């Protein structure tokens, strides 16, 4: 899977790309990540890529021209053009279902916004998918791009050492329930004990306990996932 990232702050990615799972995946050539500095495509002598918004208001808007020129050039690299994704808090919210859909596409071009966003003609011309990673505001799309890349590469075969380790995860493949709590040694710490059932060797009892923990957690923390209304009845809506 190939990623091209367009950013005004490309150095943000260097630490991330050099670490752990992702660097191993890059080394094994399962994943490649190419970071591009948008400023390279400016024709302005001061290397400016932003300007004040028409109509007034706070902040600056990234200009359409360098973005379109940059994307068109990057799309020429590699065997096929990438799926263009614009990271913006006004986009469709990323969830595991969308991640699972995107993993079938071998190349993605991620546009990271800053300031008040891009001139809207970027959207008119490039027709990107617009994606947000949640209902809160970040300073730019860079952290969102990293979150997206990480969620995608976990599903690329061979990237996770243990192929099974994402099967049980909260949210995987239609799994709409949170994961149960895990424990390891020591059995007791500061008076807190590992639940007895996990030491019992009774696999059925352990399975039952974990399932119950998952349901309880999901009820407590993410009632929305259970498709039930607050009084415990199954919700009317089918969506
Ligand atoms: Cl993709 N960008 C920004 N700036 N803020 C966000 C976001 C993206 N997703 C959630 N908040």
Per-residue model confidence as pLDDT tens digits over 102-120: 999 999 999 999 888 999 9
- Res 51: pLDDT: 96
3-state secondary structure of 209: helix
CA of 138 to the centre of ligand 1 (A): 5
Q: Looking at ligand 1, which atom is closest to the CA of residue 141?
A: 2
- Res 100: pLDDT: 95
- Res 84: pLDDT: 98
Question: Which one, of 63, 62, 66, lies nearest residue 117 by Cα?
Answer: 62
Q: At 31, is the pLDDT very low, low, confident or very high (cuts 50, 70, 90)? A: very high
Active site residue 116: yes
From 163, 169, 202, 208, the catalytic residue: 169
**Bigger pLDDT: 237 or 189?**
189
CA of 163 to the centre of ligand 1 (A): 30
Helices 142-153, 20-27: crossing angle, 10 deg rounding: 60
pTM over 0.85: yes
CA of 90 to the centre of ligand 1 (A): 8
Instruction: Read off the pLDDT of each residue in 206-232 and give the average, rounded to a whole number.
Output: 86
Active site residue 130: no
Instruction: Report pLDDT digits (tens) over 44-54.
Output: 999 999 999 99
Q: How many whole angstroms separate alpha carbon 193 and alpha carbon 187?
A: 6
Would you call 18 exposed, middle or buried from its count of C-beta atoms within 10 A (0-12, 13-18, 19+)? exposed
CA of 132 to the centre of ligand 1 (A): 5
Q: At 8, is the pLDDT very low, low, confident or very high (cuts 50, 70, 90)? A: very high
Based on DSSP, count helices (H) and strands (E) in the chain, helices before strands: 7, 9
Q: Looking at ligand 1, which atom is closest to the CA of residue 131?
A: 1
Q: At 180, is the pLDDT very low, low, confident or very high (cuts 50, 70, 90)? A: very high
Q: How many whole angstroms separate alpha carbon 160 and alpha carbon 158?
A: 6
Ordered by where they begin, the domains of the chain are 2-153 (3.40.1280.10), 167-239 (1.10.1270.20)
From 65, 100, 116, 179, the catalytic residue: 116
Residue 135 has pLDDT above 60, yes or no: yes
- Res 165: pLDDT: 67
Contacts of residue 46, Cβ cutoff 8 Å, sequence gap at least 6: none
Q: Which residues lie with the beta carbon below 6 Å from any ligand 1 atom?
A: 87-89, 132-134, 136-138, 140-141, 144
């Amino acid at each position: 899977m190939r990623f091209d990232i367009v950013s005004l702050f490309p150095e943000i990615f260097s630490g991330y790309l050099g670490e752990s799972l992702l660097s191993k995946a890059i080394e094994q050539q399962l994943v490649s990540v190419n970071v591009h500095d948008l400023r390279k495509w400016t024709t302005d002598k001061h290397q400016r890529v932003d300007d004040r918004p028409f109509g007034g208001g706070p902040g600056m808007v990234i200009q359409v021209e360098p973005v379109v020129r940059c994307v068109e050039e990057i799309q020429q690299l590699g065997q096929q053009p990438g799926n263009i994704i614009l990271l913006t808090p006004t986009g469709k919210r990323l969830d595991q279902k969308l991640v699972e859909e995107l993993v079938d596409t071998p190349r993605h071009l991620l546009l990271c916004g800053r300031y008040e966003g891009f001139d809207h003609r970027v959207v008119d011309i490039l027709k990107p998918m617009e994606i947000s990673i949640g209902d809160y505001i970040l300073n730019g799309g860079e952290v969102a791009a990293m979150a997206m890349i990480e969620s995608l590469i976990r599903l690329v075969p061979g990237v996770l050492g243990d192929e099974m380790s994402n099967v049980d995860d909260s949210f995987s493949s239609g799994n709409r329930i949170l994961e149960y709590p895990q424990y390891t040694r020591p059995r007791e710490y500061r008076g807190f004990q590992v639940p007895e059932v996990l030491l019992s060797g009774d696999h059925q009892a352990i399975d039952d306990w974990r399932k119950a923990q998952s349901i309880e957690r999901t009820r407590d923390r993410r009632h929305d996932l259970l498709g039930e209304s607050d009084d415990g009845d199954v919700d009317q809506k089918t969506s």
